[in-house]
Amino acid sequence: MAPGQDLLRRRGLRAAPGSRTLSRMSDVIIETIDLHRSYRIGRKSIEVLHGIDLRIQRGEKVFLCGPSGAGKTTLLYTLAGLEHPEKGRVHIDGTDLYALDRRAQARFRNKRIGYVFQNYHLLPELTALENVAVPGAISGNDTTALALKALERVGLGDRAEHLPAELSGGEQQRVAIARAIVNEPQVLFADEPTGNLDSRNSAEIMRILFDLVEEHGVTLVVVTHDQNLAKIGDRTLVIKDGSIHSAE
């Protein structure tokens, strides 16, 4: 067993049988229909997503795996409303995300979706508390108290006044998670959330994410290259050449 997987298991993060998890879910929260996305490099068009149909149920923990360039991050961005598909639809809890105008879509993302980036994307001139409060500031609300509560949920209440440069990589990722959950989203997307961390910090980050699922009913979708990590979710989707080639 790989060291990282062993540590995860010892911290109580075990792969739950999919049948048990799915049997207690009643509805679909994420659905894609014939999703297409391509990029143009010079005169050449490269199709990254090729007609993806996908359904994810409320409270499910889904891991997206596959080789580099397969379309995992593009799919995650498209599900989260960060990249517009060329064709197809994305429904989040019954709302057709790309049928909304730009302002309505931004409000929807701010209130219903959380996103954790691999490289943290913290603002270097802001403290941890101020970084976490940013989503509230965008919506015009003072969420300082909620931001402090979110930091406490990820174990960083005592680091609220520290700048990102004063935090370790694992702590910065926890700040990024706190920022993603400050508005209590229904869906949390995470792009390689442990990609820059050692095995101990990786286990801690995944424990925090799984606690959110279990305690608050959040739906979790994670991109990872780590096959061992993917095994602890409810379902693993393997993305290859822009399509879902298998589901475990």
Can you give the CATH number for the domain in which 216 is found?
A: 3.40.50.300
Q: What is the pLDDT of residue 18?
A: 41
- Span 207-219, mean pLDDT? 90
* Sheet of strand 95-96, all strands in order from the earlier edge strand to the far edge: 44-57, 28-41, 87-92, 95-96
Q: What is the pTM of this model?
A: 0.86
The answer to whether 205 and 211 have CB atoms below 8 angstroms apart is: no
The mean predicted confidence, pLDDT, of the chain is 87
* Residue pLDDT, tens place only, 154-188: 999 999 999 999 999 999 999 999 999 999 999 99
71 within some domain: yes
Q: Read off the pLDDT band of 3 (50, 70, 90).
A: very low
Question: Is 117 domain-assigned?
Answer: yes
Instruction: Give the mean model confidence (pLDDT) for residues 195-218.
Output: 89
Within-domain flag for 12: yes
Q: Confidence class of residue 212 from pLDDT cuts 50, 70 and 90?
A: confident
Burial (CB < 10 A; 0-12, 13-18, 19+), residue 1, is exposed
> Domain residues for 221?
3-20+58-82+112-247
Provide the domain count of the chain.
1
- Model confidence at 6, pLDDT cuts 50, 70, 90, reads low
Of residues 21 and 8, more confidently modeled: 8
- CA separation, residue 30 to residues 54, 135, 209 (Å): 8, 22, 18
Residue 4 in this model has a pLDDT that exceeds 70:
no
In a domain, 99, yes or no: no
Per the domain annotation, does 52 fall within a domain? no
Q: Give residue 63's pLDDT.
A: 95
pLDDT for residue 11 is more than 70? no
What confidence score (pLDDT) does residue 9 get? 53
Tens digit of each residue's pLDDT (9 = 90 or more) over 41-90: 888 888 899 999 999 999 999 999 988 888 999 999 999 999 999 999 99
Q: Which residue from 116, 143, 135, 101 is spatially nearest to 197, judged by alpha carbons? A: 116
pLDDT of 26 higher than 70: no
Among 62-76, 159-173, 191-205, 234-248, the range with the most confident prediction by mean pLDDT is: 159-173
248 versus 100: the higher-pLDDT residue is: 100
Higher pLDDT, 247 or 41: 41
Asked if residue 39 is part of any domain, the answer here is no
pLDDT score for 138: 77
- Candidates 84, 62, 92; CA nearest to 224 is 62
* 105 inside domain: no
Q: Has residue 7 been placed in a domain?
A: yes
